[in-house]
Structure formats: C-alpha cells, structure tokens
Amino acid sequence: MPAHLPVDDARQLFEENTQRTWSGLLKVVEGHLNKANGIENEIVLMLIPVIKQLEKSGQYYPYDVDDFVRVINAALSRQYAV
C-alpha cells in the first residue's frame, strides 16, 4: 500500500500550521512526534523528509486543505514508491 496522509490528519496539520510555510509545517509535524494521541509516529516520521524535500525543491505551499492533501500525498508516493 502506498504511503499516504489520511485526510483528517492532513486537515489537522494544515489548520495547525498558521505560518502556511513548509518550515512551519515541519515544526507542527515534529510537535506530533511521540504524542500518545493524534497522528501516528510512523506517519510523522515519513512526513519529515518529505516536507524538507518539498521546501528544498521550491514547491509552493498549498492554498487549501484539498491542495495540501494532493501535494503531500503525491510527494509521499514519490518518496516511498515500492
């Protein structure tokens, strides 16, 4: 099964990232690491290098949740293609 970010988790991360930047998202995601409730550690650990790559590549930061889900899941699929 390809790597993907569930829509509910994506919505939560998008809303928590008030900076609307990749570096802001990285801080939000890292804040979820090793938390008992919320986004699974496996997902958090998969997202960290993907977010860094998106920022490095100059990818625009998504303007809404739907675009965010599309961009993140496309990047996850590329990074973790089987």
For the chain, what are the domain ranges? 7-79
Paired tokens of 79: 């990074």
List, for residues 48-63, the tens digit of each pLDDT value.
999 999 999 999 999 9
Determine how many CB atoms are found less than 10 A away from the CB of residue 56.
9
pLDDT of 72 > 80? The answer is: yes
List, for residues 7-22, the tens digit of each pLDDT value.
999 999 999 999 999 9
pLDDT of 1 > 50? The answer is: no
Paired tokens of 3: 């790597």
Mean pLDDT value across residues 17-46: 94
The residue among 38 and 52 whose pLDDT is bigger is 52
pLDDT at 12: 96
CB 14 within 8 A of CB 62: yes
